[in-house]
């Protein structure tokens, strides 16, 4: 059971942002769902729950006592341990989380119908349990959630007060005092910085030394090149710098698509050398047609619109820019960092010394230029023991 997920779910009753009583009420609901009054749970939570100021002091002390007694497993980020436990056992998982950021690494999650249950408000202030069907997210939704998880692990995302990504830090350029730093040295492209400590210091993830702020970084958008249904390539469009894309653009900067087109694909002759011009304006992507055969935008409902020649048209997050029937450009769900990887490759790589959720090495700048209610109840014990 994801205890933090349950304790913070306001639909389960009460008017507080976090309430341990929801977890305790859920234990009764689980016993009824399982038809077994001695049913046990393996309780897991994020470390942040132990210091959540929305809980009372007594509730926080109860959680800490459970943890010290070995009745509550505490992780920096509990999502991955929960999935690993579900894979290693036949136990069902109690959570509202869709684990969208883990679907690429654990494909069995996609649309699963038998391994997950969720609590819901029952009559008279009780909590009941029902089976749930896991979501079947689109690629951009997985990318966005992966980004959110990586930002949270780096301390650059605040979910609690609703601010979301720390744009005042993410839209800055940083330099490490270590001259040979592979992450934030003079020749490095830059990776995801880390925000730590009560003062919110921004440090290098390699050396944990404070970074120097070099000023504002222009916004960037990551685009995916999907050929015959498979993502073959990713590239960036930077605010203030229009990017030509086509078979082999003459303009600089340009994004060359020829290496990603199959040898006998009709797209090789259909797509122009300079096919389209891309521009980032604030949080929007704009596209202009510069081709011989035309450029279209396909909307989520399947309708298409022709892109004007010489003018720009906005591209939505779920839209696709059609350069050919088999080649399209898609806006990534990520807004703040860039990672060039093949479709299906694990999105996260562990960093040395990281004991919590695996963090992700991601680019914050373009790649180098290229040629061309705790009342003492114990969650880990059986029901009979819990009532003593």
Residue 190 makes CB contacts below 8 A (sequence gap 6+) with 173, 174, 183, 184, 363, 364, 365
Q: How does pLDDT run across 116-134, given as a tens digit for each residue? A: 999 999 888 899 999 999 9
Average pLDDT for residues 5-13, to the nearest whole number? 92
Average pLDDT for residues 126-144, to the nearest whole number? 89
DSSP state of 358: P
> What pLDDT was estimated at residue 83?
92
118 and 150 share one domain = no
Estimate to the nearest angstrom the gap between the alpha carbon of 270 and the chain centroid: 36
Q: How does pLDDT run across 70-81, given as a tens digit for each residue? A: 999 999 888 989
Range of the domain at 273: 220-331
The closest alpha carbon to 131, from 30, 57, 50, belongs to 30
Rounded CA-CA distance 167/157 in Å is 9
109 and 154 share one domain = no
Q: Does residue 180 belong to any structural domain of this protein? A: yes
pTM: 0.64
240 and 316 share one domain = yes
Total domains, the chain: 3
Rounded CA-CA distance 239/235 in Å is 14
- pLDDT exceeds 70 at position 359: no
17 and 78 share one domain = yes
Residue 321 makes CB contacts below 8 A (sequence gap 6+) with 276, 287, 295, 296, 297, 307, 315, 328, 329, 330
Range from 42-56, 149-163, 275-289 carrying the lowest mean pLDDT: 149-163
Where does a domain end: 160, 185, 216?
A: 216
User: Can you list the positions of beta strands (E) in 70-169?
Assistant: 72-75, 93-94, 116-121, 127-131, 157-158, 164-165
Q: Does residue 375 belong to any structural domain of this protein? A: no
Average pLDDT for residues 289-309, to the nearest whole number? 94
> What pLDDT was estimated at residue 121?
93
- pLDDT exceeds 90 at position 388: no
8 and 133 share one domain = yes
Q: How does pLDDT run across 200-218, given as a tens digit for each residue? A: 889 998 888 999 999 988 8
């Amino acid at each position: 059971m994801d205890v933090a997920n349950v304790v913070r779910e306001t639909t389960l009753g009460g008017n507080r942002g976090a309430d341990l009583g929801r977890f305790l009420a859920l234990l009764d609901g689980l016993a009824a769902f399982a038809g077994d009054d001695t049913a046990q749970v393996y309780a897991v939570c994020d470390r942040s729950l132990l210091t959540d100021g929305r809980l009372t002091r007594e509730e926080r002390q109860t959680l800490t006592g459970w943890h010290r007694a070995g009745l509550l497993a505490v992780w920096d980020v509990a999502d991955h341990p929960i999935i690993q436990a579900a894979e290693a056992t036949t136990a069902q998982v109690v959570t509202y989380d869709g684990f969208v950021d883990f679907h690429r690494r654990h494909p069995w999650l996609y649309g699963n119908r038998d391994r997950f249950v969720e609590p819901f408000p029952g009559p008279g202030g009780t909590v009941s349990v029902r089976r749930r069907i896991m979501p079947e997210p689109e690629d951009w939704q997985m990318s966005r959630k992966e980004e959110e998880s990586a930002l949270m692990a780096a301390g650059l995302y605040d979910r609690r007060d609703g601010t979301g990504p720390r744009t005042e830090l993410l839209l800055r350029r940083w330099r490490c005092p270590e001259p040979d730093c592979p992450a934030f040295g003079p020749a490095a492209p830059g990776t995801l910085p880390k925000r730590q400590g009560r003062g919110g210091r921004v440090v290098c993830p390699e050396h944990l030394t404070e970074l120097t702020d070099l000023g504002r970084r222009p916004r960037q958008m990551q685009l995916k090149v999907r050929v015959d249904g498979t993502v073959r390539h990713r590239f960036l469009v930077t605010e203030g710098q229009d990017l030509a894309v086509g078979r082999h653009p003459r303009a600089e900067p340009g994004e060359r698509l020829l290496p990603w087109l199959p040898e006998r694909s009709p797209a090789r002759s259909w797509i122009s050398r300079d096919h389209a011009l891309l521009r980032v304006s604030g949080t929007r992507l704009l596209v202009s047609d510069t081709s011989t055969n035309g450029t279209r935008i396909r909307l989520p409902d399947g309708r298409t619109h022709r892109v004007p020649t010489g003018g720009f048209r906005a591209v939505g997050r779920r839209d696709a820019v059609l350069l050919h029937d088999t080649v399209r450009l898609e806006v990534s769900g990520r807004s703040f960092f860039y990672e060039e990887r093949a479709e299906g490759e694990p999105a996260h790589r562990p960093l040395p010394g990281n004991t919590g959720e695996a963090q992700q090495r991601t680019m914050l700048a373009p790649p180098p230029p290229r040629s061309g209610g705790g009342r003492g109840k114990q969650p880990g014990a059986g029901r009979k023991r819990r009532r003593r």
